[in-house]
Structure 1
Amino acid sequence: MAWRAKLVGVAAVGGGGAAACYLGLVSGAMPLDVGVGRRIRPLGPQVVDIRAPRDVVFDVIAQPYLGRTTRAMREKVRVLERGSDMVLASHSTPVAGGKLTAVTVEAVRFTRPDRVEFRLVRGPVPHVVESFVLTTTEAGTRLAYEGELGTDGWALGQRWGQLVAARWEETVTASLASVRHESERRAALR
């Protein structure tokens, strides 16, 4: 009987440890970057056509980082360090139906007027690089997003990467829709 009690205790501790690891990974509080079994998968591409000039679209993307952060964006983006063409920023994203908040820290580089690049510093996976590329079209601007996400741990890490990438791309889709809406609003006011 004593061995059963010990087994239940070990299982409870192991389960609690697994839950703590999961929460740490999801929230970005415990990033796992061991450099072993790295798997890379693409993010995107996603393309959005926007009826606004390229400089307006660039300014909308850059605003929360290089300018004054709006009240609505303060809950999502916090600039930790700012340079002339690059910032270090934390991004907060609700996950698990809003029960948890994933926090990532990213270096964001700006090349006016056509490119914004993101590189993950800390988050739920060890490697993410992304870019927003802006090109002028007859109707306004084409915003193209693409990137890559990398995980460690071979097949298990790859599965984790699929879960993270799905939520990551949902967040990017919402962000692109917001950029489109605000850019077109600003262009109409010109």
Structure 2
Amino acid sequence: MAWIGRLTAVAMAGGGVLAGCLGLVSGALPVDVGVGRRTRPLGPQAVDIAASRDVVFDVVARPYLGRTPRSMRAKVNVLERGSDLVLAEHFTPIAGGRLTATTVETVRFTRPERIDFRLVRGPVPQVTESFVLTETGSAGTRLVYEGLLGTDLWRLGEWWGTAVAVRWEDTVASSLAVIKAEAERRTGRQ
């Protein structure tokens, strides 16, 4: 009968490890121990948009500063809204859509040239990002995304940061494509 106790202990430990992994991946169990911090760049990613800088800024800011459109509610939930700063949850499907990663970020708006994001809770302890909008010729805008991602625990954290960064940058690239399409649709130039 002692083997039943050992089997139960192993099963519980395995379940705890699985729960911890799921919590880390989904952002529900953030790990920020402040030891062995390593950082890596995110981006840069740039997209040229055939729309004015004000239009592009409004497309990015609308779900945060205004009423979140129904089409965006599965991706963004604003928890606290100010005039130029919001606290928002972002939802990203992972594991083939079987799980959802939730990050909580502050988003600061400096009209019309800059939007800054700072991670509060997520799968890594540190992320800062920016969208910088510059005017280009003939009423166009270049949107440049750059960021910094930090993880703890030396090489293990560095490995985890690389895995997270790939998915993070893919998500940003998708967002940039949506921003470009919407801004150009609003200006009538696709």
Give me the whole-angstrom Cα distance separating, in 2, the residues matched to 1:126 and 1:93: 17
* Residue-by-residue CA offset, 1:8-28 (whole Å, 9 max, x unaligned): 444322221111011111111
C-alpha displacement of 1:157:
1.0
Give me the whole-angstrom Cα distance separating, in 1, the residues matched to 2:167 and 2:134: 27
Alignment match, 1:127: 126
Give the secondary-structure state (helix, strand or coil) at the position aligned to 2:29: coil
Alignment match, 1:60: 59
1:69 corresponds to 2:74: no
Alignment match, 1:178: 178
1:149 corresponds to 2:149: yes
Identity %: 68
Give me the whole-angstrom Cα distance separating, in 2, the residues matched to 1:2 and 1:186: 70
1:21 corresponds to 2:20: yes
Greater mean alpha carbon deviation, residues 157-166 or residues 55-64: 157-166
- Give the alignment's TM-score, normalised by structure 1: 0.94
Give the secondary-structure state (helix, strand or coil) at the position aligned to 1:124: coil
Alignment match, 2:39: 40
Count of residues paired in the alignment? 188
Give me the whole-angstrom Cα distance separating, in 2, the residues matched to 1:49 and 1:32: 36
Give the secondary-structure state (helix, strand or coil) at the position aligned to 2:188: helix
C-alpha displacement of 1:29:
1.0
* Residue-by-residue CA offset, 1:25-68 (whole Å, 9 max, x unaligned): 11111111110111101100000000000000000000100012
CA root-mean-square deviation:
1.5
Alignment match, 2:85: 86
* Contiguous gaps of at least 5 residues in structure 2: none
Alignment match, 1:103: 102
C-alpha displacement of 1:158:
1.0
Give me the whole-angstrom Cα distance separating, in 1, the residues matched to 2:10 and 2:172: 38
